[in-house]
Amino acid sequence: MSYRRPIAGLIAASLLSPEKTRAGTLESVVLQAIPHVVQKPDFCGEACAQMVLEWHGSKLDQDDVFDFTGLDPALGRGAHTRELARALERIGFDVGPVWTSIGARDAADLEAAWSELHRDLRRGVPSRTSRRSNADYAQHVMTLKEKVPSGFSIVVEPPFVVVGDEPEERVRARAAGTVRWAVERLEGDFFDDEPEDIIDIWLFEDRASYERNTRRLFGETPSTPYGYYSPTHRALIMNIATGGGTLVHEIVHPFMEANFPGCPSWFNEGLGSLYEQSADAGGHIRGLTNWRLAGLQEAIRAGAVPSFEALTSTTRHQFYEDDPGTNYAQARYLLYYLQEKELLVRYYRELVANRNRDPTGYRTLRRVLEEKDMTAFQRRWEELVLRLRFPG
């Protein structure tokens, strides 16, 4: 098994005193789903590791963790920080930074690591982990190579494999600068689980390559000049010449599929569309105004924008096929409003939690907005949208 986030380093860091880490200033979190074990004397780190390993289905216990340290039992003690880190690396953790003492230069990094761990704990997981090992990706790439045309480059960027017909350096830059950038921020704010399967991202350098290779490799004619997600082929298929915005949009969909099955189409496409034009804001992804704004403003002036109750109640067919021309933009700028009011992540979490009682998300929307009169709210929202500008 492979552990992609540095939870082991944080387990090792937990051996430091609360006075040094200021961990005592964070609220206590108890994870009911995590098995609890009785710690053997001086095996605090080993016992912590056992609990996380059991949560992953591993049979390793604290004695096994100690054995992985290679310590001489004649020392008569449990593992110290670096020894525990070494054991956890051997088991398969990505340990990350390890602190055995705290100097001024390290304090900020350690505080950031504790805060990151605490955010995960509050969401009910010990830390995000990868379901797949390097061996899984190697096997996937071996199979993929059977269909990849000559001259294409392949880059592993978990949970995706990026395939492109640009020079390898360019494909690697896109994998890191767009794919990794988006995944880290989407996971940080919204998604706890990775897609069930390894997803391929095909980046074609221009329209001609995109259209030709989509027909050749997938037997499909693209219905959009930008790109799309194909659940059938477990692939994101992109004309990357149109920019990285559509790629970030499409990355949302396999994550939504894994984390929120049955997500209403308006929210799925609204969130994807929100991040077509996005930027970093303190390590979080932030949607900006984009090209969809002009059409929405025109529809607002014409009185052609449906009510939010009508938008949220659309079926999949109604959203995509009976779109009056405003569905994507209306959904996008509703979520943009929630984002600007710092309500978007909360709304998503409550939408997921209430999906059986409120499958459209409309009642949850009213509650999060604290709005009784949604007609009056929509008028205020439309006034705000009319004041927005793109470019800003």
- The per-residue pLDDT for range 286-330, each reduced to its tens digit, is 999 999 999 999 999 999 999 999 999 999 999 999 999 999 999
Domain boundary among 65, 99, 122: 122
pLDDT value of position 338: 98
Least confidently predicted of 21-35, 135-149, 273-287: 21-35
Threshold 0.75, pTM exceeds = no
- Classify residue 343: in a domain, yes or no: yes
Helix axes of 81-91 and 62-69: crossing angle, nearest 10 degrees: 100
Q: Are 134 and 172 members of one domain?
A: yes
Q: Which residues pair with 93 in a beta bridge?
A: 3
| 306 close to 330: Cβ distance less than 8 angstroms | yes
Residue 2 reports pLDDT greater than 50: no
Q: How far apart, in whole angstroms, are the C-alpha atoms of residue 1 and residue 91?
A: 8
* pLDDT, mean of residues 9-17: 44
Length of the chain: 392
Domain boundary among 122, 147, 165: 122
| 178 close to 251: Cβ distance less than 8 angstroms | no
Q: Are 179 and 156 members of one domain?
A: yes
Residue 236 reports pLDDT greater than 70: yes
Q: The dihedral of CA 72, 78, 82, 83: what is its sign? A: positive
pLDDT value of position 85: 85
Q: How far apart, in whole angstroms, are the C-alpha atoms of residue 283 and residue 19?
A: 27
Copy the structure tokens of residue 221: 């004619």
Q: Are 149 and 204 members of one domain?
A: yes
Task: List all residues 6 or more positions away from 376 whose beta carbon is below 8 Å from its beta carbon.
Answer: none
Residue 104 reports pLDDT greater than 60: no
Cα dihedral 289, 294, 300, 304, rounded to 10, equals: -120
Least confidently predicted of 91-95, 121-125, 172-176: 121-125
Least confidently predicted of 99-113, 171-185, 208-222: 99-113
- Classify residue 1: in a domain, yes or no: no
pLDDT higher at 97 or 3: 97
Among 220, 237, 44, 14, which residue's Cα sits nearest to residue 114?
A: 14
Q: Are 197 and 280 members of one domain?
A: no
In angstroms, how far is the first alpha carbon of the chain from the final one?
46
* pLDDT, mean of residues 329-346: 98
Copy the structure tokens of residue 369: 């907005």
pLDDT value of position 103: 60
Q: Are 92 and 22 members of one domain?
A: yes
Q: What amino acid occupies position 388?
A: L
Helix axes of 62-69 and 44-55: crossing angle, nearest 10 degrees: 120
Least confidently predicted of 40-49, 110-119, 151-160, 225-234: 110-119
User: How many domains does one find in the chain?
Assistant: 3
Domain boundary among 213, 234, 259: 259
Q: How far apart, in whole angstroms, are the C-alpha atoms of residue 187 and residue 66?
A: 32
Q: How confident is the model at residue 134 (pLDDT cuts 50, 70, 90)?
A: confident
Q: How far apart, in whole angstroms, are the C-alpha atoms of residue 171 and residue 310?
A: 42
What is the extent of the structural domain holding 48? 7-122
Cα dihedral 369, 373, 376, 377, rounded to 10, equals: 10
Work out the number of other CB atoms within 10 angstroms of the CB of residue 19: 9
